[in-house]
Chains A and B, each alone.
Chain A
Amino acid sequence: MDLSRVQKELKDCNKDREISGIGIEANGGDLTHLSGTITGPVGTPYEGGTFLIDVRLTGGYPFEPPKMQFRTKVWHPNISSQNGAICLDILKDQWSPALTLKTALLSIQALLSAPEPDDPQDAVVAHQYLRDHATFVATARYWTEAFAKRVTVGIEEKVQKLVEMGFPENSVRKALEIVNGDENMALEKLCSG
């Protein structure tokens, strides 16, 4: 795998993180297993949420597509409400080595704005999207509130708790930031070093 390209990509992507709302971090020193974050697009039920995406790179990257999956639960016709699997052509046969992790994450962000219920990953959600749009919007918004906004809730409390468990504060803050405030995942990360 082209590690130097991945490193460059990470650097490049995090440069304008504030503007694009797209971020990627390596999980520890492992460049084959990354964590991406996207912010929910404005004017959608996902607005205000920060979504964590698990990114795994195979040895063939960038000639093979990265494997991406939502770690944050999300209510969307093209994303499995069960396991976060994403139905997006560029992650499958339309992948091109000229695309990057950032463009892939941007495409996922665009997918949040423009669902394609005709090619669903989650038939239940797609059905609701087409037949009962109001309920769909409400559910999606509720899920965003419930699962994608934890980062703002009591971050200091979590830091405190983890520090009390014996981890250095710097690492705790960094781990929490990477996993988007999920306490258990941060712990997992801290334990794995």
Chain B
Amino acid sequence: MEEFDYLSSGEEEEDCESLDGIESDDQRWTSTSLSSTQVITEESLLAAQVEDLHRVMDLLTVREQHARTLLIYHRWDIDRLIAAFVEKGREWLFSEAGVTMVESRNSASSWSSSPIMCEICIEEVPPNSVTTMDCGHCFCNDCWTEHFIVKINDGQSKRVRCMAHKCNAICDEDIVRKLVSEKNPSIADRFKRFLLESYIEDNKKVKWCPSVPHCGNAIRVDGDAYCEVECTCGKQFCFSCSLEAHSPCSCPMWDLWVKKCQDESESVNWMTANTKPCPKCNKPVEKNGGCNLVSCICGQPFCWLCGGATGRDHTWSSIAGHSCGRYNAADKAKRAETDLYRYMHYYNRFKGHMDSLTLETKLKASIQEKVSIVESKNFGNKDYSWVINGLYRLFRSRRVLSYSYPFAFYMFGEDLFGDDMTEKIREMKKNLFEDQQQQLESHVEKLSSLLEEKFDEFTEEKIRDLRMHVINFSVSVDGLCLKMYECIENDLLGPLQHAIHNIAPYNSKGIEKASELPIFQDTSANLKSTKITGANNALPRASTTNEKRATDSSQPSSSGLLRESSSMDENICSTRKRSRKDGRGDTLIDLNLPTWVVDKNGF
């Protein structure tokens, strides 16, 4: 790895783009192909799920709301839904998810003129103020409304069940919205938002961007969940754990490290003492009485004693089998002192590199200044992208180096893998890793010092020399980072017997920027070639009703339109400046504006 010829530096040069281009290396390909990570904004939230909804609607010939109920039940995992359909059949699929469909929605009761007894309030009500749900149960509108509001306020919007005892049917979302909005429009809005946000909340492929203050976006990842991604708001994070990007540390390592580094606040203490994370969705669950079989709001039952997921058939005798009651007596006091010194060793290096990174970000301005000075000197070579390229390489590798210390702290410590390696093997692996780490460290420092040279005072000859060195060290640092990731994945974390730790793969170009969902511009006025987005997206507020109207009436249905996705490639418009036309024309949002303007005006 020490020798680099000019050939490789030439390759690096090809990768170089304009000064701004490097900041977003991937810009080039987001505009032409779908990247594996996408940003879902408030406006594109509906568009993002339309594809899934329409697949289910087409496959099972159901209305959108039934497709949504099915997808929510299967946590937006279409493959699982289809597998259940193939294995167990339509009937089972529907009844399990609470989808019921009756042939005629107008049951006899709505035609009769005599008062109807509502079994909830035990009052007689005129027939025009009752509603019969798809499952056939009929109650008065006031009671339905109360029931919906209680359920929505209780956070159960996604599965509002019928009021009848033991009826598993999920209520028609249009009826819920209609009745609730008559009494309390803000709760109806909340209901709608919860339904839409189920696509983010319940879907393992989608996560909220953890930015603070929240940018309102979510990120969808199509491939491996172990990746690091950058939202359009600029927030970089680990998709797997939603904490900051921390590779080559694994998520559990980083979690432990962060906790170790910060003083635990009162609320953290309270949470640890009084809540347990749900084994499915990881939200902290507080026990509000009753037995040790606890249900999270996501529906997952688990054992309060050990926090492990259980089925509904969790039994008392199997509680006895849990090892949760056993006290794990580890004599930690003895090693406390050595542990502390060990921690300080790693922490100081981790922090040291972080501090260097902060200082080096200030370098950027001075480098740009120097570049403009040199550019005015009329030297032969006018391309100074290598300086900025080198600087970004420095940032990325500095980051890697910094996070490699908490990794090493846990990899070669007792906390996580105490039983996984013998002392001898641990020592051997530690030496192997530290050699690489030191090599990377020395190259990074060298690169850093090169970039601090006052090249604006240099002769052309000297600049050529510096350029060569910067490029060479950039390449070698990149190679060393890759090697370190490979070593971690293959030689260190891979062979572990008792634990599974994954890290995001090394990305030479830095953390991937999520692309915005492609918006297919409609050039032929009639929404002909809409694929994922189209009409639904243009009308965020009224979309669901419009869609329903479209599917119910004889107009060309939106699902029909979706199937006719021809020549869509021609219609891709720039992801930065989006243009969407509203075919039906009662609301017009000018999306030629920059995203941030649209976001502000959005719903």
A96–B316 touching, CB < 8 Å = no
B330 to chain A, nearest CB (A): 27
Cross-chain contact of A98 among B164, B291, B314, B315 (Cβ < 8 A): B164
Does A5 sit at the interface, judged by CB under 8 A? yes
Residue B295, interface by CB 8 Å: yes
A130 touches B316 (CB 8 A): yes
A103 to B291, CA, bound (A): 22
Q: A120-B316, A130-B317 are in contact. Are A96 and B165 (CB under 8 A)?
A: yes
Query: Which residues 112-163 of B have a CB within 8 angstroms of A?
Result: 119-123, 143, 146-147, 149-150, 163
**Interface flag for B290 (CB, 8 Å):** yes
Query: Is the Cβ of B316 less than 8 Å from the Cβ of A63?
Result: no
Interface of B is mostly: loop
Complex partner residue of A96 from B149, B166, B314, CB under 8 angstroms: B166
* Shortest CB distance A129–B (Å): 9
Interface string of B309-329 (1 = CB under 8 A from A): 000011111010000000000
CA distance A169 to B502 in the complex (A): 77
Whole-angstrom CA separation of A60 from B316 in the bound complex: 33
Contact of B316 with A126 in the complex, beta carbons under 8 Å: yes
Q: Measured between C-beta atoms, what is the minimum distance from B554 to chain A in Å? A: 39
Does any Cβ of A come within 8 Å of B223's Cβ? no
CB proximity to B under 8 Å, residues A49-82: 60, 62-64
Instruction: Given A4-B123, A97-B143, answer yes or no on A121-B165 (Cβ-Cβ < 8 Å).
Output: no
A177 at the interface (CB under 8 A from B): no
Cα A123 to Cα B313 with chains together (Å): 16
Neighbour of A121 across the interface among B150, B166, B291, B313, CB < 8 A: B291
Indicate whether A98 sits within 8 Å of B163 (C-beta atoms), given known contacts A2-B121, A5-B121, A85-B289: yes
A152 to chain B, nearest CB (A): 33
A114 to B313, CA, bound (A): 17
A123 contacts which chain B residues (CB < 8 A)? 316, 319
How many angstroms from the CA of A96 to the CA of B171 in the assembled complex? 14
Contact B290 A92, beta carbon cutoff 8 Å: yes
Chain B residues whose CB sits within 8 angstroms of the CB of A8 once the complex forms: 122
Shortest beta-carbon distance, A48 to chain B, in Å?
Answer: 28
Q: Is the CB of B316 within 8 A of A118?
A: yes
Smallest distance from the beta carbon of B582 to chain A beta carbons, Å?
Answer: 39
Q: Which residues B278-330 have CB closer than 8 A to chain A? A: 289-291, 293, 295, 313-317, 319
Instruction: Give chain B residues whose Cβ lies under 8 Å from the Cβ of A188.
Output: none
Give B146's nearest chain A residue, CB to CB: A63
User: A87: which B residues are within 8 A, CB to CB?
Assistant: 290-291
Bound: A178/B525 CA distance, A: 76
- The interface centre, meaning the residue of B146, B165, B313 with most chain A CB atoms within 10 A of its CB, is B165
Q: Mark A71-111, 1 if CB is under 8 A from B, else 0.
A: 00000000000000101001011101111000100000000
Q: Does A117 contact B (CB under 8 A)?
A: yes
Instruction: Return B168 CB to nearest CB of chain A, in Å.
Output: 11
A132 lies within 8 A of chain B by Cβ: no
| Complex-state Cα separation, A7 to B150, whole angstroms | 22
Q: Which residues of A contact B316 (CB under 8 A)?
A: 117-120, 123, 126-127, 130
CA distance A99 to B149 in the complex (A): 18
- In Å, the complex CA distance between A62 and B119 comes to 11
Chain B interface: which size bin? 20 to 34
In the complex the two chains form, what is the Cα distance from A98 to B314 in whole Å?
28
Chain B residues contacting A5 (CB-CB under 8 Å) are 120-122
| Complex: A99 Cα to B360 Cα, angstroms | 68
Q: Are B291 and A119 in contact (CB under 8 A)?
A: yes
Which B residues touch A60, using CB under 8 A? 146, 150
Instruction: Write out, one digit per residue, whether chain B residues 165-179 have a CB within 8 A of any chain A CB (1) or not (0).
Output: 111000000000000
A93:B295 contact, CB within 8 angstroms: yes
By beta carbon, the residue of chain B nearest A58 is: B150
Residues on A with beta carbons closer than 8 Å to the beta carbon of B119? 98
Q: Cα distance A92–B288 when bound, in Å? A: 11
Q: Are B315 and A118 in contact (CB under 8 A)?
A: yes
Q: A4-B123, A8-B122, A64-B150 are in contact. Are A96 and B163 (CB under 8 A)?
A: yes
Cα(A118)–Cα(B119), bound, Å: 34
Q: How far is the CA of A155 from the CA of B278 in the complex (A)?
A: 52
- Nearest to A127 among chain B residues (CB) is B316
B121: chain A residues within 8 A (beta carbon)? 2, 4-5
Whole-angstrom distance between the alpha carbons of A9 and B122 in the complex?
A: 9
For the complex, what is the distance from the CA of A97 to the CA of B164, rounded to whole Å?
Answer: 7
Q: B150 — which chain A residues lie within 8 A by C-beta?
A: 60, 63-64
How distant is the Cα of A96 from the Cα of B253 in the complex, in angstroms? 45
A121 in contact with B290 (CB, 8 Å): yes
List residues of chain A with CB within 8 A of the CB of B143: 63, 97
CA distance A130 to B320 in the complex (A): 13
Knowing A63-B146, A64-B150, A118-B316 touch, does A97 contact B163 (C-beta < 8 A)?
yes
CB distance from B288 to the nearest CB of A (A): 10
Q: How far is the CA of A63 from the CA of B293 in the complex (A)?
A: 23
Within 8 A of A (CB), among B258-294: 289-291, 293
Chain A residues closer than 8 Å to B289, beta-carbon distance? 85
Q: Which residues of B contact A99 (CB under 8 A)?
A: 165
State which of B120, B122, B290, B295 has its C-beta within 8 Å of the C-beta of A85: B290
B519 to chain A, nearest CB (A): 42
Neighbouring B residues of A96 by C-beta, 8 Å: 163-167
A120 to B164, CA, bound (A): 27
Which residues from chain A contact B164 at a C-beta distance below 8 Å? 96, 98
Measured CA separation A123–B293 after assembly (Å): 12
CB pair A119–B122 under 8 Å, yes or no, is no
Closest residue of A by beta carbon distance from B163: A97
Give the distance in Å from the alpha carbon of A63 to the alpha carbon of B142 in the complex. 12
Q: Across the two chains, which residue of chain B brings its CB closest to A121?
A: B291
What are the residues of chain B within 8 A of A93 when measuring CB–CB? 295
Which A residues touch B146, using CB under 8 A? 60, 63
Q: Report the bound CA distance from A4 to B316 in whole Å.
A: 41
Question: Is the pair A97, B147 in contact by a Cβ cutoff of 8 Å?
Answer: yes
A103-156 at interface with B (beta carbon < 8 Å): 103, 117-121, 123, 126-127, 130
Q: List 27 A-B contacts (CB under 8 A).
A: A5-B120, A5-B121, A60-B146, A63-B146, A63-B147, A63-B149, A63-B150, A85-B289, A94-B166, A96-B163, A96-B165, A97-B143, A97-B147, A98-B163, A98-B164, A98-B165, A99-B165, A103-B165, A118-B316, A119-B314, A119-B315, A119-B316, A120-B291, A120-B316, A123-B319, A127-B316, A130-B317
For the complex of A and B, list the 10 residue pairs with the smallest distance between their C-beta atoms, beginning with the closest: A63-B150, A96-B165, A118-B315, A87-B291, A97-B163, A98-B165, A97-B120, A63-B147, A8-B122, A120-B316
With A4-B123, A120-B316 given, name 11 new contacts (CB 8 A). Answer: A2-B121, A63-B147, A85-B289, A87-B291, A96-B166, A96-B167, A98-B120, A98-B163, A98-B165, A118-B317, A123-B316
Residues on B facing A (Cβ under 8 Å): 119-123, 143, 146-147, 149-150, 163-167, 289-291, 293, 295, 313-317, 319
